[in-house]
A and B are shown apart, each in its own frame.
Chain A
Amino acid sequence: MAFFEVRDIVKYFGGLAAVNRVSFEVQEGQIYGLIGPNGSGKTTIFNLINGYFHLNKGQIWFQGEKISGLKTHQICQRGIGRTFQVVKPLKRMTVLDNVIASAFLRHHSRAEAQAWAEATIHFCGLTHFKDKVAKSLPIASRKRLEIARSLATRPKLILLDETAAGLNPHELEEAIALIKKIRDSGITVIIVEHIMKVIMSISDRIVAINHGMVITEGTPTEVASNPEVIKAYFGEDYRA
């Protein structure tokens, strides 16, 4: 049995299938990439895994347990963390308080929660922003805050939604390093990403999606050479 498995999931929005019979498996310790053009259903898949949307059909399994049908907070308690593409900082709280609120999931005493939050903030390179109010952060740091808050819940699997979008080349390098560091700390990663450079360089395996359906699945090199993928990304006339 796979560490994490999505089986034949379907999601309709008003008669339209936004996600149509998608299946994939993720092994423990992998960085697993989810690619596809805009509106292909990547974020919807995250919202389905995370329990934010209800599935119309199919099942999702995590560590031998069926998690589809659970509520969002229950899924987080099972050990799946996520970040949001459109970042959702707790605006009027400081960075530290944002992360402490998250750390309380596994640490019930205030002192332990704070210690773990500070460690997580350090891990994500946000220490000098610690006492800043979240709404005052620049975008790159807000994305890191999303990750820090998610890591503070001590997940075994983390879903990263476009954490590299909108970053400059230097910040991009840092983001890639951070994602690798997360994997090296023993957390499995599923990543949705638009920037091909990022996803190709760090993913162990990739699933490509278009119009809510799986086009292909495989190693980065296999996926990159698939004609369907090239067509979906660059249009009919593109010849490599």
Chain B
Amino acid sequence: MKRPSGPLLLLVFLLIFPLIFREGYYQHLMILVLMWVAIGSGWNLISGYTGQVLFGAAAFFGVGAYTAALLSSKLELSAWWGLPLGGLLSVAIAFPFGWICFRLRGPYFALATLALNEIFRHIATIWESLTDGMIGILVMQTFISKVPYYYVALATAILSIVGVDYVIRSRWGYYFVSIREDQDAAESMGIDTLYYKMVSLCLSAFLIGITGALYTNYMGFIDPKVVFSLHDISIMAILVGIVGGVGTIYGPTVGAFIMVAVQEIFRTGGFGLLNAIGKATGWPFMTTVTKYISEAHVLSFGLLVIVVILFLPNGIVGDWGIIKKIFVRSKKPAV
């Protein structure tokens, strides 16, 4: 089997990235990308490969994040213990949850994950004696430099890609994809579809959960609105998954780069470009545009969802053939 060299080059680039880009801002962005690679890979396993669309990834992300935060604030342990324990706690929730939802086919699972997301956010908000509610939890960061976090995030991303790739090539992977393609056929092939859907969900929850714990360690602060966010976590996870390519190994990686860039472009008004234009030209109207653009990131997410589903239903990696065709066609008349 021929190994694709693209991922290998990317890996080398990522390994030396903090040595080249010493500015904290770029390292921060790349840490976000790497965390989204892990979340996106987890999402992709249950949604893209197993066909059970996870609408509430934030439920597991938040559980991981809060596990890390509470270990530190309540038990005075290192928040790093949150990585394994947050992952395991997410699994402990995913297992019974999957058992309840997967007995039924249809939209139940998708909706139930959405509900779980909301329920956890409410609990984290209301249970003030444990979580301090809306105030959130502050955790002492271990390192001042971003570089150690960068390498932990890189390790998590690599673990998730290699892990998903390994699973997908194994018996489990065949079972997951069989379930996605036709549940009746899968059952009649002797596959316990309920059990394997639960296995897939648990693996996903684990990856998303450890990333949540990593987020707590890196950011040093969490509150219910951020880590259980429907838009910024759950919908973002879906976008990372589908923009890159549903049911492909490197789709979430492509998706993570694109989506973090999109998010950042809107947050900063085109990396400050619009602002600069406004200042240089002195047009007051540019300031207004900049203000609107930076407020429009949810709108842009919504539009992206619509456009991607309509035109690239299987993402950039999945629909690469279609994309290439479009470009080849448009080039032809010029030749």
Contacts and interface: CB of A to CB of B under 8 A. Distances in A.
A110 interface: yes
Contacts, number: 75
A214 interface: no
A101 B169 contact: no
Interface residues of A, number: 30
A66 interface: no
Given A52-B184, A90-B178, A90-B181, A110 B170 contact: yes
B320 to A, nearest CB: 15
A221 B279 CA distance: 96
Given A90-B181, A101-B178, A113 B189 contact: no
B174 A97 contact: yes
Interface stretch (B190-198, B229-237, B326-334): B190-198
A72 B174 contact: no
A97 B193 CA distance: 18
A84 B185 CA distance: 8
A111 B171 CA distance: 11
Contacts of A102: 189-190
A36 interface: no
Contact of A90 (B171, B182, B187): B182
Given A73-B193, A93-B181, A101 B174 contact: yes
A3 interface: no
B69 interface: no
B189 A149 contact: yes
Interface residues of B, number: 19
B68 interface: no
A153 interface: yes
A101 B189 contact: yes
A76 B189 contact: yes
Interface in B167-213: 169-171, 174-175, 177-178, 181-182, 184-193
A229 interface: no
Interface in A78-116: 81-82, 84, 88-93, 97, 100-102, 104-105, 108, 110, 113
Nearest to A134: B181
B184 A76 contact: no
Contacts of A149: 185, 189
Given A88-B182, A88-B184, A73 B190 contact: yes
Contacts of A97: 174, 177
A73 B188 CA distance: 6
Given A90-B178, A92-B181, A73 B187 contact: yes
Contact of B188 (A72, A92, A100): A72
A162 to B, nearest CB: 15
A76 B188 contact: yes
A100 B174 contact: yes
A90 B190 contact: no
Per CB-CB distance, the 8 closest pairs between chain A and chain B, nearest first, are A76-B190, A90-B181, A72-B187, A88-B185, A101-B174, A105-B190, A104-B171, A102-B189
